[in-house]
A and B are shown apart, each in its own frame.
Chain A
């Protein structure tokens, strides 16, 4: 899969991101990286499909059992088809280039996830932008 920074549309003024929630964080990925979103009907017998728990990857506490069921983002990339579990898929947002920033140097240097590449400024919230193809799982 093409790295996020090279995805067609990235150099235009606006482009679409899928925004999803993970614990207290609002995260986003270029919408074209995600080939589907699943909720209840998560396939169980697909041997060629990988599953990644984004909470585990960020060392967050596991979801509470009483919480709503997770959403699964389907990504097809270099590692094949992968389902990435997140707390909730919030929807598509169109971001203007002026809303997007690089991570500050200190954050960029100390981040545990190389997939985190930037952030988007909304009126009252900040969305952290990820390249799902670059997820480090160990």
Chain B
């Protein structure tokens, strides 16, 4: 077996797939993708993966049914000695215990709440590399270790303090939010305008029954530039409130050493400079790091201070 773990990533949102793939490949993982449950079942039959990261809500057969089918097929294949049990981890935004239990009942090994974060992935991959042939049996340890991630991350950060950032584009500028507030990314379409709102609030989107407000970050930040035809919505979350931010593109996830972050040099009006934490050089670009909590507390948002 190759040293490079091979993972199947199943998600029907192409932007989420792209971002998760980017995160995983940064960790030297071979990533295959599938966008629906049936394709996932077929992929597992064809290829001996070490892990499947399975979105629960999928078009056609959902992640639960796909897992049941994989387990039924696997049982026969294992009896014939063709295959060992693959670890299947649910990726879900559902925090309710009954939803998480449904994943386990379907045959999944555990549940990982979205969004995927670099430290969660690192911990999982470390365990896969340590136990490449019997990943399923160590899953409980892997996922138990996820709970310790914060502590281990703290140890790492004492050596090389970094800030996990989602980098995105707005007009000619490059900006970043802390990853901890990121929930998902989707194409900017089907935004329903709402009557009687200020111009920086574009309306709402319906994500499988969840209604999320969409804010034009360009207008909020006073950035003058046309909106590109294919923009993205970064869905963020804080204190249980989800808000989508319209940006030109969600570009990459980076770990930025704290020492590389400088005080802001770009001149913004005070209203905007208050929400900027600093700037950093990234390749040839200057990344402006925004303070998510200050944006959410600003006068134009102000939903948590209410």
Which residues does A use to contact B, with CB under 8 Å? 22-25, 27, 58-60, 101, 103-107, 109-113, 116, 119, 121, 126, 128
B198 in the interface, Cβ–Cβ < 8 Å?
A: yes
* Further contacts, 14 of them, CB under 8 A, given A104-B204, A107-B201, A126-B206: A25-B194, A104-B242, A105-B241, A106-B201, A106-B303, A107-B197, A107-B213, A109-B302, A109-B306, A112-B196, A113-B196, A119-B204, A119-B211, A128-B195
Q: How far is the CA of A22 from the CA of B195 in the complex (A)?
A: 9
Interface residue range, chain B:
20 to 34
- Selected from B195, B198, B209, B241, the residue in CB contact (under 8 A) with A121 is B209
Question: B198: which A residues are within 8 A, CB to CB?
Answer: 110
A106 engages B196 (CB within 8 Å) = no
Q: List 30 A-B contacts (CB under 8 A).
A: A23-B195, A25-B193, A25-B194, A27-B195, A58-B195, A58-B196, A60-B195, A101-B211, A103-B194, A103-B211, A104-B204, A104-B213, A104-B241, A105-B213, A105-B303, A106-B213, A106-B215, A107-B197, A107-B201, A107-B204, A109-B306, A110-B198, A110-B201, A111-B194, A111-B197, A113-B196, A116-B196, A121-B206, A126-B192, A128-B195
B301 in the interface, Cβ–Cβ < 8 Å?
A: yes
- Binary interface encoding of chain B residues 167-182 relative to chain A, with 1 for a CB under 8 A from any of its CBs, else 0: 0000000000000000
Listed from nearest, the 5 A-B pairs whose CB atoms lie closest are A112-B196, A106-B213, A104-B213, A58-B195, A113-B196
If A101-B211, A126-B206 touch, whether A107 touches B193 (CB-CB below 8 Å) is no
Q: How far is the CA of A27 from the CA of B306 in the complex (A)?
A: 27
Question: A113: which B residues are within 8 A, CB to CB?
Answer: 195-196
Helix, strand, loop or mixed for chain A's interface? mixed
Q: How far is the CA of A90 from the CA of B117 in the complex (A)?
A: 47
If A106-B243, A107-B204, A126-B204 touch, whether A25 touches B195 (CB-CB below 8 Å) is yes
Which residues does B use to contact A, with CB under 8 Å? 192-198, 201, 204, 206, 209, 211-213, 215, 241-243, 301-303, 306
- Selected from B197, B206, B243, B306, the residue in CB contact (under 8 A) with A112 is B197
Question: B206: which A residues are within 8 A, CB to CB?
Answer: 121, 126
Q: How far is the CA of A115 from the CA of B242 in the complex (A)?
A: 23
Question: A116: which B residues are within 8 A, CB to CB?
Answer: 194-196
Query: A61 to chain B: closest CB distance in Å?
Result: 13
Name, among A106, A109, A113, A116, the residue most crowded by chain B CB atoms within 10 Å (CB to CB). A106
Q: How far is the CA of A111 from the CA of B243 in the complex (A)?
A: 15
Question: B213: which A residues are within 8 A, CB to CB?
Answer: 104-107
A24: nearest chain-B partner, CB-CB = B193
Q: How far is the CA of A104 from the CA of B213 in the complex (A)?
A: 6
Question: A110: which B residues are within 8 A, CB to CB?
Answer: 197-198, 201
B194 engages A106 (CB within 8 Å) = no
A112: nearest chain-B partner, CB-CB = B196
Name, among B195, B242, B243, B302, the residue most crowded by chain A CB atoms within 10 Å (CB to CB). B195
Q: How far is the CA of A126 from the CA of B212 in the complex (A)?
A: 13
A126: nearest chain-B partner, CB-CB = B192
Query: A133 to chain B: closest CB distance in Å?
Result: 17
Q: How far is the CA of A27 from the CA of B196 in the complex (A)?
A: 13
Question: B306: which A residues are within 8 A, CB to CB?
Answer: 109
B241 engages A106 (CB within 8 Å) = yes
Q: How far is the CA of A59 from the CA of B193 in the complex (A)?
A: 14
Question: B303: which A residues are within 8 A, CB to CB?
Answer: 105-106, 109
Query: A102 to chain B: closest CB distance in Å?
Result: 8
B213: nearest chain-A partner, CB-CB = A106
Query: B237 to chain A: closest CB distance in Å?
Result: 12
Q: How far is the CA of A121 from the CA of B201 in the complex (A)?
A: 20
